[in-house]
């Protein structure tokens, strides 16, 4: 099914091929609202292709968010379509990746330049560059949302356990970049709400290797995490601009 700006509110979701991003995509498509799904392999993702086969208003775009040239291309594609999103939800992120030898550090000796760079590229730099390229496309005359999935472990004040140097630090950097964005956009995009969100520990490929010590009632299904996040995002307004909040709507310490 084609999407156009004559349809109801358009949402753009990154990381839409897996985990929470895919669950959010299903959540909103299930409510008949169009979604632009972005991932490196969005067009070959079987779950997304199934949704398209069912006639859902879903548009898939392959983009590597760590490549700024690709982000510029994504913006041009959206402008030309035109597909101008009212909500952008960044769900792309990584904690481990066998293909690039990324795994969370247990101790100082595990920290390497490469792991730090890989973590910062996707978890910190991609969200702010996504904002740089896509916020100019968002309508200015109605409420809009730019939300990005951070993580409680990115909170410096809440860091009592240590470990996971690169992931923690990259999420803390993302938080600072989003906070700075919120300050600038308050003036330049008064209808935009910028949010950093902690989804809660959720059963996805990202958390799979680290679920052993998580009590069952604290491990959300992707569907539940998506429902909770969608409630926050759809209810977000001026009062929430620049906040770092958890799935239950509570503020997290920076």
Ligand X SMILES: NC(=O)c1ccc[n+]([C@@H]2O[C@H](COP(=O)([O-])OP(=O)(O)OC[C@H]3O[C@@H](n4cnc5c(N)ncnc54)[C@H](OP(=O)(O)O)[C@@H]3O)[C@@H](O)[C@H]2O)c1
Select 39 or 189, whichever has its Cβ closest to ligand X: 39
To ligand X, the closest distance from the beta carbon of 65 in angstroms equals 4
Determine which residue in the list 87, 119, 207, 228 makes contact with ligand X, applying CB under 6 A: 207
Tokens matching residue 238: 């001026």
Q: Which stretch binds ligand X (CB under 6 A): 2-10, 46-54, 59-67, 188-196?
A: 59-67
20 contacts ligand X (rule: CB under 6 A): yes
21 contacts ligand X (rule: CB under 6 A): yes
Determine which residue in the list 12, 24, 65, 147 makes contact with ligand X, applying CB under 6 A: 65
85 contacts ligand X (rule: CB under 6 A): no
60 contacts ligand X (rule: CB under 6 A): no
Contact residues toward ligand X (CB under 6 A) are 14-15, 17-21, 39-41, 64-66, 91-94, 122, 149, 151, 198-199, 201-202, 204-207
């Amino acid at each position: 099914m084609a999407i156009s700006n004559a349809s109801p509110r358009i949402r753009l979701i990154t990381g839409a091929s897996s985990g929470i991003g895919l669950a959010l995509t299903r959540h909103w498509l299930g409510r008949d609202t169009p979604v632009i799904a972005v991932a490196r392999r969005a067009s070959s993702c079987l779950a997304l292709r199934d949704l398209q086969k069912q006639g859902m208003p879903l548009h898939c775009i392959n983009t590597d968010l760590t490549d700024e040239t690709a982000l510029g291309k994504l913006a041009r594609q959206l402008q030309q379509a035109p597909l101008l999103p009212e909500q952008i939800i960044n769900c792309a992120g990584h904690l481990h990746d066998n293909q690039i030898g990324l795994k969370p550090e247990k101790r100082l000796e595990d920290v390497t330049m490469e792991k730090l760079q890989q973590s910062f590229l996707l978890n910190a730099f991609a969200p702010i560059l996504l904002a740089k390229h896509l916020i100019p496309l968002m309508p200015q005359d109605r409420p809009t949302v730019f939300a990005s999935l951070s993580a409680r472990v990115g909170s410096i004040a809440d860091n009592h356990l240590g470990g996971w140097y690169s992931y923690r630090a990259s999420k803390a950097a993302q938080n600072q970049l989003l906070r700075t964005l919120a300050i600038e956009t308050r003036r330049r995009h008064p209808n935009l709400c910028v949010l950093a969100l902690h989804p809660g520990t959720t059963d996805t490929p990202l958390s799979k290797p680290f679920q052993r010590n998580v009590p069952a009632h604290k491990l959300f299904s992707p569907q539940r995490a998506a429902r909770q996040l969608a409630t926050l995002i759809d209810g977000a307004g001026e009062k929430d601009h620049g906040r770092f909040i958890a799935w239950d709507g509570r503020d997290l310490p920076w």
